[in-house]
Structure 1
Protein backbone atom coordinates (compact mmCIF):
# COMPACT_ATOMS: atom_id res chain seq x y z
CA UNK A 1 0.00 0.00 0.00
CA UNK A 2 1.21 3.50 -0.79
CA UNK A 3 2.09 5.66 2.20
CA UNK A 4 -0.21 8.31 0.70
CA UNK A 5 -3.12 6.04 1.60
CA UNK A 6 -2.12 5.74 5.25
CA UNK A 7 -4.66 7.25 7.62
CA UNK A 8 -2.38 9.47 9.71
CA UNK A 9 -4.23 11.79 12.08
CA UNK A 10 -3.89 15.53 11.61
CA UNK A 11 -4.40 15.98 15.35
CA UNK A 12 -3.44 13.98 18.44
CA UNK A 13 -4.34 14.52 22.09
CA UNK A 14 -2.50 13.63 25.26
CA UNK A 15 -3.45 14.32 28.85
CA UNK A 16 -2.23 17.93 28.67
CA UNK A 17 -1.45 18.58 25.01
CA UNK A 18 -2.86 18.85 21.53
CA UNK A 19 -0.52 18.00 18.67
CA UNK A 20 -1.70 19.07 15.25
CA UNK A 21 -0.29 19.30 11.77
CA UNK A 22 0.52 22.77 10.48
CA UNK A 23 -2.31 24.48 8.67
CA UNK A 24 -2.06 25.82 5.15
CA UNK A 25 -1.55 29.22 6.71
CA UNK A 26 -1.98 31.06 9.97
CA UNK A 27 0.48 29.40 12.35
CA UNK A 28 3.54 31.45 11.44
CA UNK A 29 3.11 34.28 13.96
CA UNK A 30 2.95 32.04 17.03
CA UNK A 31 5.77 29.79 15.85
CA UNK A 32 7.94 32.76 14.94
CA UNK A 33 7.32 34.38 18.33
CA UNK A 34 8.34 31.14 20.09
CA UNK A 35 11.55 31.00 18.03
CA UNK A 36 12.34 34.58 19.06
CA UNK A 37 11.53 33.84 22.72
CA UNK A 38 13.72 30.73 22.67
CA UNK A 39 16.43 31.95 20.31
CA UNK A 40 19.40 31.66 22.68
CA UNK A 41 18.56 28.08 23.66
CA UNK A 42 17.66 26.98 20.12
CA UNK A 43 20.77 28.57 18.62
CA UNK A 44 23.01 26.30 20.69
CA UNK A 45 21.55 23.11 19.20
CA UNK A 46 19.70 23.75 15.93
CA UNK A 47 21.14 24.89 12.58
CA UNK A 48 17.86 26.57 11.56
CA UNK A 49 18.10 28.87 14.58
CA UNK A 50 21.37 30.58 13.73
CA UNK A 51 19.45 33.68 12.72
CA UNK A 52 15.97 34.79 13.65
CA UNK A 53 13.62 34.05 10.76
CA UNK A 54 11.06 36.56 9.58
CA UNK A 55 7.38 35.73 9.93
CA UNK A 56 7.27 35.19 6.14
CA UNK A 57 10.21 32.74 6.31
CA UNK A 58 8.42 30.88 9.09
CA UNK A 59 5.23 30.82 7.01
CA UNK A 60 7.11 29.32 4.04
CA UNK A 61 8.69 26.72 6.33
CA UNK A 62 5.30 25.73 7.76
CA UNK A 63 3.65 25.55 4.33
CA UNK A 64 6.43 23.23 3.15
CA UNK A 65 5.88 21.15 6.31
CA UNK A 66 2.16 20.96 5.52
CA UNK A 67 2.89 19.81 1.95
CA UNK A 68 5.40 17.24 3.24
CA UNK A 69 2.82 15.98 5.73
CA UNK A 70 0.32 15.42 2.92
CA UNK A 71 3.01 13.72 0.82
CA UNK A 72 4.03 11.64 3.89
CA UNK A 73 7.66 12.74 3.48
CA UNK A 74 7.78 14.10 7.04
CA UNK A 75 5.07 14.43 9.65
CA UNK A 76 5.34 17.61 11.69
CA UNK A 77 3.06 18.49 14.58
CA UNK A 78 2.73 21.78 16.42
CA UNK A 79 2.28 21.28 20.16
CA UNK A 80 -0.30 23.26 22.15
CA UNK A 81 -1.30 23.14 25.80
CA UNK A 82 -4.91 22.09 26.30
CA UNK A 83 -7.17 24.71 27.80
CA UNK A 84 -4.87 27.68 27.19
CA UNK A 85 -3.85 26.93 23.58
CA UNK A 86 -0.31 28.12 24.43
CA UNK A 87 2.17 27.09 21.73
CA UNK A 88 4.67 24.68 23.33
CA UNK A 89 6.92 23.61 20.45
CA UNK A 90 7.31 21.33 17.46
CA UNK A 91 7.77 17.59 17.06
CA UNK A 92 8.04 15.58 13.88
CA UNK A 93 8.79 12.30 12.19
CA UNK A 94 11.68 13.05 9.84
CA UNK A 95 13.89 11.04 7.49
CA UNK A 96 11.06 8.62 6.82
CA UNK A 97 12.03 5.50 4.89
CA UNK A 98 8.80 3.72 3.96
CA UNK A 99 10.64 0.68 2.58
CA UNK A 100 11.90 -0.36 6.05
CA UNK A 101 9.68 1.48 7.49
CA UNK A 102 11.63 3.72 9.86
CA UNK A 103 12.17 7.37 10.80
CA UNK A 104 13.64 9.64 13.43
CA UNK A 105 11.90 12.08 15.74
CA UNK A 106 13.00 15.70 15.96
CA UNK A 107 11.72 18.25 18.44
CA UNK A 108 12.21 21.67 20.01
CA UNK A 109 10.41 23.46 22.80
CA UNK A 110 9.50 27.05 23.52
CA UNK A 111 11.90 27.85 26.39
CA UNK A 112 9.23 29.28 28.67
CA UNK A 113 7.54 25.84 28.77
CA UNK A 114 10.64 23.68 29.28
CA UNK A 115 11.02 21.70 32.48
CA UNK A 116 7.34 20.74 32.73
CA UNK A 117 7.50 17.36 30.97
CA UNK A 118 5.58 18.58 27.93
CA UNK A 119 8.13 17.38 25.39
CA UNK A 120 8.45 14.04 27.14
CA UNK A 121 4.67 13.67 26.89
CA UNK A 122 4.67 14.66 23.20
CA UNK A 123 7.54 12.30 22.27
CA UNK A 124 5.84 9.44 24.14
CA UNK A 125 2.62 10.06 22.21
CA UNK A 126 4.38 10.31 18.85
CA UNK A 127 6.38 7.15 19.57
CA UNK A 128 3.16 5.27 20.32
CA UNK A 129 1.56 6.60 17.12
CA UNK A 130 4.61 5.58 15.10
CA UNK A 131 4.91 2.07 16.49
CA UNK A 132 1.25 1.16 16.95
CA UNK A 133 -0.67 2.96 14.19
CA UNK A 134 1.81 3.87 11.46
CA UNK A 135 3.71 0.62 12.13
CA UNK A 136 7.27 1.95 11.94
CA UNK A 137 9.69 -0.88 12.71
CA UNK A 138 12.35 1.52 14.00
CA UNK A 139 12.22 5.04 15.42
CA UNK A 140 15.42 6.91 16.18
CA UNK A 141 16.21 10.02 18.18
CA UNK A 142 19.55 11.66 17.43
CA UNK A 143 21.03 14.49 19.44
CA UNK A 144 24.34 16.07 20.22
CA UNK A 145 26.07 14.16 23.03
CA UNK A 146 26.34 17.29 25.20
CA UNK A 147 22.63 18.13 24.92
CA UNK A 148 21.67 16.56 28.25
CA UNK A 149 18.06 17.83 28.25
CA UNK A 150 17.38 16.36 24.82
CA UNK A 151 19.10 13.08 25.71
CA UNK A 152 16.96 12.64 28.83
CA UNK A 153 13.80 12.24 26.74
CA UNK A 154 14.64 9.01 24.88
CA UNK A 155 16.35 7.67 28.00
CA UNK A 156 13.16 8.14 30.06
CA UNK A 157 11.02 6.56 27.33
CA UNK A 158 12.99 3.34 27.02
CA UNK A 159 14.87 4.09 23.83
CA UNK A 160 18.16 2.21 23.66
CA UNK A 161 21.38 4.16 23.27
CA UNK A 162 22.85 2.24 20.35
CA UNK A 163 26.01 4.28 20.30
CA UNK A 164 27.76 7.61 20.22
CA UNK A 165 28.93 8.52 16.74
CA UNK A 166 32.24 10.37 17.12
CA UNK A 167 32.75 13.53 15.09
CA UNK A 168 29.53 12.72 13.25
CA UNK A 169 28.06 16.16 12.69
CA UNK A 170 28.76 19.86 12.75
CA UNK A 171 27.72 21.98 15.69
CA UNK A 172 24.61 24.09 15.09
CA UNK A 173 26.79 27.08 14.15
CA UNK A 174 28.90 24.93 11.81
CA UNK A 175 32.17 25.76 13.56
CA UNK A 176 33.18 22.42 15.09
CA UNK A 177 32.61 18.68 14.87
CA UNK A 178 30.32 17.11 17.44
CA UNK A 179 29.44 13.63 18.66
CA UNK A 180 25.92 12.34 18.06
CA UNK A 181 24.05 10.03 20.42
CA UNK A 182 21.87 7.57 18.52
CA UNK A 183 18.86 6.23 20.40
CA UNK A 184 16.37 3.80 18.90
CA UNK A 185 13.25 1.88 19.75
CA UNK A 186 12.12 -1.08 17.68
Structure 2
Protein backbone atom coordinates (compact mmCIF):
# COMPACT_ATOMS: atom_id res chain seq x y z
CA UNK A 1 0.00 0.00 0.00
CA UNK A 2 1.32 3.45 -0.84
CA UNK A 3 1.22 6.43 1.47
CA UNK A 4 -1.08 9.27 0.39
CA UNK A 5 0.78 12.14 -1.23
CA UNK A 6 1.38 15.09 1.04
CA UNK A 7 -0.57 18.18 0.01
CA UNK A 8 1.73 20.79 -1.51
CA UNK A 9 2.41 23.79 0.70
CA UNK A 10 1.03 27.17 -0.27
CA UNK A 11 4.43 28.85 0.16
CA UNK A 12 7.87 28.05 -1.17
CA UNK A 13 10.32 26.68 1.40
CA UNK A 14 11.71 29.22 3.87
CA UNK A 15 9.13 31.92 3.01
CA UNK A 16 7.32 33.38 5.99
CA UNK A 17 5.53 36.63 6.82
CA UNK A 18 7.06 39.12 9.27
CA UNK A 19 7.10 38.12 12.93
CA UNK A 20 5.91 41.54 14.08
CA UNK A 21 3.58 43.98 12.36
CA UNK A 22 3.13 47.54 13.62
CA UNK A 23 -0.22 49.26 13.13
CA UNK A 24 -1.54 52.58 14.38
CA UNK A 25 -2.26 52.06 18.09
CA UNK A 26 -1.51 48.34 18.25
CA UNK A 27 0.78 45.66 16.85
CA UNK A 28 0.86 41.99 15.96
CA UNK A 29 3.59 39.69 17.20
CA UNK A 30 4.32 36.01 17.43
CA UNK A 31 3.33 34.45 20.75
CA UNK A 32 5.83 33.04 23.22
CA UNK A 33 5.19 30.73 26.16
CA UNK A 34 5.43 33.80 28.40
CA UNK A 35 2.10 34.91 26.84
CA UNK A 36 0.12 31.89 28.09
CA UNK A 37 -1.38 33.67 31.13
CA UNK A 38 -2.36 36.80 29.18
CA UNK A 39 -3.91 34.64 26.45
CA UNK A 40 -5.78 32.64 29.08
CA UNK A 41 -7.06 35.82 30.75
CA UNK A 42 -8.24 37.25 27.39
CA UNK A 43 -10.10 34.04 26.55
CA UNK A 44 -11.74 33.89 29.99
CA UNK A 45 -12.82 37.56 29.68
CA UNK A 46 -14.29 36.86 26.23
CA UNK A 47 -15.63 33.39 26.89
CA UNK A 48 -19.31 34.10 26.12
CA UNK A 49 -18.53 35.51 22.67
CA UNK A 50 -15.82 32.99 21.79
CA UNK A 51 -17.72 29.96 23.02
CA UNK A 52 -20.59 30.73 20.63
CA UNK A 53 -18.35 30.55 17.54
CA UNK A 54 -15.08 28.81 18.34
CA UNK A 55 -15.20 25.02 18.83
CA UNK A 56 -11.93 25.13 20.80
CA UNK A 57 -13.43 27.47 23.45
CA UNK A 58 -14.96 25.16 26.06
CA UNK A 59 -15.43 25.21 29.81
CA UNK A 60 -13.41 25.06 31.84
CA UNK A 61 -10.87 27.27 30.11
CA UNK A 62 -7.55 25.65 30.96
CA UNK A 63 -4.23 27.47 30.73
CA UNK A 64 -2.70 24.26 29.40
CA UNK A 65 -4.80 24.77 26.25
CA UNK A 66 -3.24 28.18 25.71
CA UNK A 67 0.25 26.76 26.25
CA UNK A 68 -0.61 24.06 23.71
CA UNK A 69 -1.83 26.68 21.22
CA UNK A 70 1.42 28.62 21.60
CA UNK A 71 3.54 25.48 21.22
CA UNK A 72 1.56 24.47 18.10
CA UNK A 73 1.96 28.02 16.80
CA UNK A 74 5.74 27.73 17.12
CA UNK A 75 5.78 24.36 15.33
CA UNK A 76 3.33 25.53 12.66
CA UNK A 77 5.36 28.70 11.98
CA UNK A 78 8.51 26.66 11.47
CA UNK A 79 6.67 24.18 9.23
CA UNK A 80 4.73 26.89 7.34
CA UNK A 81 1.37 25.35 8.32
CA UNK A 82 0.12 28.49 10.08
CA UNK A 83 1.38 31.91 11.11
CA UNK A 84 -0.29 33.13 14.31
CA UNK A 85 0.10 36.55 15.88
CA UNK A 86 -1.17 38.04 19.11
CA UNK A 87 -2.89 41.40 18.77
CA UNK A 88 -1.43 43.68 21.44
CA UNK A 89 -2.61 47.23 22.17
CA UNK A 90 -0.42 50.27 22.90
CA UNK A 91 -0.47 49.42 26.62
CA UNK A 92 0.92 45.93 25.84
CA UNK A 93 -2.43 44.27 26.63
CA UNK A 94 -3.29 41.16 24.63
CA UNK A 95 -6.60 41.89 22.89
CA UNK A 96 -6.91 39.01 20.41
CA UNK A 97 -5.25 36.80 17.83
CA UNK A 98 -5.07 36.63 14.07
CA UNK A 99 -3.50 33.96 11.91
CA UNK A 100 -2.78 32.88 8.37
CA UNK A 101 -3.35 29.19 7.79
CA UNK A 102 -2.22 26.96 4.95
CA UNK A 103 -5.21 24.65 4.79
CA UNK A 104 -6.84 25.50 1.46
CA UNK A 105 -4.25 24.57 -1.13
CA UNK A 106 -1.49 26.02 -3.29
CA UNK A 107 -1.77 29.74 -3.92
CA UNK A 108 -4.22 30.36 -1.05
CA UNK A 109 -4.10 31.13 2.65
CA UNK A 110 -6.95 31.49 5.14
CA UNK A 111 -7.24 34.18 7.82
CA UNK A 112 -8.78 33.40 11.22
CA UNK A 113 -9.23 35.82 14.10
CA UNK A 114 -10.91 36.77 17.35
CA UNK A 115 -10.92 39.92 19.45
CA UNK A 116 -11.30 40.39 23.20
CA UNK A 117 -14.53 41.79 24.60
CA UNK A 118 -14.06 45.54 25.04
CA UNK A 119 -11.67 45.86 22.08
CA UNK A 120 -14.39 45.46 19.45
CA UNK A 121 -16.10 48.25 17.55
CA UNK A 122 -12.94 50.32 17.00
CA UNK A 123 -11.78 48.89 13.69
CA UNK A 124 -8.91 46.91 15.25
CA UNK A 125 -9.78 43.63 13.55
CA UNK A 126 -10.56 45.28 10.23
CA UNK A 127 -7.17 47.01 10.22
CA UNK A 128 -5.35 43.86 11.37
CA UNK A 129 -7.06 41.70 8.74
CA UNK A 130 -6.38 44.31 6.04
CA UNK A 131 -2.65 44.32 6.85
CA UNK A 132 -2.45 40.53 7.09
CA UNK A 133 -4.30 40.25 3.76
CA UNK A 134 -1.81 42.62 2.10
CA UNK A 135 1.13 40.74 3.59
CA UNK A 136 -0.28 37.38 2.47
CA UNK A 137 -0.89 38.58 -1.10
CA UNK A 138 2.68 39.91 -1.25
CA UNK A 139 4.12 36.47 -0.42
CA UNK A 140 5.45 34.56 -3.43
CA UNK A 141 2.91 32.20 -4.92
CA UNK A 142 -0.09 33.54 -2.98
CA UNK A 143 -2.85 34.97 -5.13
CA UNK A 144 -5.88 34.45 -2.91
CA UNK A 145 -6.81 34.89 0.74
CA UNK A 146 -9.99 33.49 2.27
CA UNK A 147 -11.97 34.12 5.45
CA UNK A 148 -14.41 31.41 6.52
CA UNK A 149 -17.15 31.94 9.10
CA UNK A 150 -20.58 30.71 10.03
CA UNK A 151 -23.35 32.70 8.32
CA UNK A 152 -24.85 33.56 11.70
CA UNK A 153 -21.59 35.16 12.91
CA UNK A 154 -22.42 38.63 11.60
CA UNK A 155 -19.53 40.38 13.37
CA UNK A 156 -16.99 38.02 11.85
CA UNK A 157 -18.53 38.31 8.37
CA UNK A 158 -18.48 42.11 8.60
CA UNK A 159 -14.66 42.11 8.46
CA UNK A 160 -14.23 40.59 4.97
CA UNK A 161 -17.21 42.59 3.74
CA UNK A 162 -15.57 45.87 4.89
CA UNK A 163 -12.29 44.82 3.25
CA UNK A 164 -13.88 44.23 -0.14
CA UNK A 165 -13.69 40.45 -0.05
CA UNK A 166 -16.52 38.85 -1.97
CA UNK A 167 -18.78 36.08 -0.75
CA UNK A 168 -17.70 33.23 -3.02
CA UNK A 169 -20.07 30.59 -1.75
CA UNK A 170 -22.02 29.19 1.17
CA UNK A 171 -22.23 25.55 2.09
CA UNK A 172 -23.49 23.25 4.80
CA UNK A 173 -21.17 22.55 7.72
CA UNK A 174 -21.86 20.51 10.81
CA UNK A 175 -22.21 23.02 13.68
CA UNK A 176 -19.21 22.68 15.96
CA UNK A 177 -20.02 25.52 18.39
CA UNK A 178 -23.30 26.57 20.02
CA UNK A 179 -23.89 29.72 17.93
CA UNK A 180 -23.27 28.12 14.56
CA UNK A 181 -26.14 27.79 12.10
CA UNK A 182 -24.62 25.04 10.00
CA UNK A 183 -24.15 27.31 6.99
CA UNK A 184 -20.50 28.18 6.29
CA UNK A 185 -19.53 31.30 4.32
CA UNK A 186 -16.39 31.45 2.19
CA UNK A 187 -15.16 35.00 1.58
CA UNK A 188 -12.31 35.53 -0.90
CA UNK A 189 -10.12 38.41 -1.97
CA UNK A 190 -11.32 40.02 -5.20
TM-score of the alignment, normalized to the shorter chain, above 0.5: yes
List alignment gaps of at least 5 residues for structure 1.
Answer: none
1:53-80 alpha-carbon deviations (Å, 9 max, x no partner): 3212211221111111111110101001
Corresponding residue of 1:16: 25
Q: CA RMSD in A?
A: 2.0
Q: Given the alignment, which residue of 91, 99, 104 partners 2:98?
A: 91
Corresponding residue for residue 124 of structure 2? 118
2:177 equivalent to 1:172:
yes
List, as ranges, runs of 4+ consecutive aligned residues in structure 1 with deviation greater than 6 Å. none
State the number of aligned residues. Answer: 181
Checking the alignment, whether the CA contact within 8 Å between 2:52 and 2:178 is kept in structure 1 is yes
Give 2:189's aligned residue: 185
Deviation, structure 1 residue 135: 4.6
- Go from structure 1 to structure 2 and tell me whether the alpha carbon gap of 1:126 and 1:53 turns closer, same or farther (over 3 Å shift): same
The within-5 A match list for 1:28-39 is 28-39=36-47
Distance in 1 between residues matched to 2:52 and 2:136, nearest whole Å: 28
- Pick the structure with more helix per residue: 1
For residue 48 of structure 1, give the secondary structure of its aligned residue in structure 2: coil
**Which position in structure 1 is the counterpart of 2:4?**
none
Contact 1:92 1:107 in 2 (8 A): yes
Q: Measure how far apart 1:172 and its partner are.
A: 0.8
> Aligned to 2:34, what secondary structure does the other structure show?
coil
Structure 1 residues 7 and 107, CA gap change in structure 2 (3 angstroms):
closer
CA distance in 1, matches of 2:26, 2:60: 26
Mark the runs of 5 or more structure 2 residues left unpaired by the alignment.
1-10
What is the SS of the residue equivalent to 2:139? helix
Looking at structure 2, the residues matched to 81 and 10 of structure 1 have their Cα atoms a distance apart, in angstroms, of 16
Name which of 66, 69, 73 aligns with 2:77. 69
Equivalent pair of 2:12/2:141 in contact (CA under 8 Å): no
Question: Do the aligned partners of residues 95 and 169 (structure 1) sit closer, same or farther apart at CA in structure 2, a change above 3 Å counting?
Answer: farther
SS in 2 for 1:162: strand
Q: What is the alpha-carbon distance in structure 2 between the residues aligned to residue 10 and residue 120 of structure 1? A: 19
TM-score (norm 1): 0.89
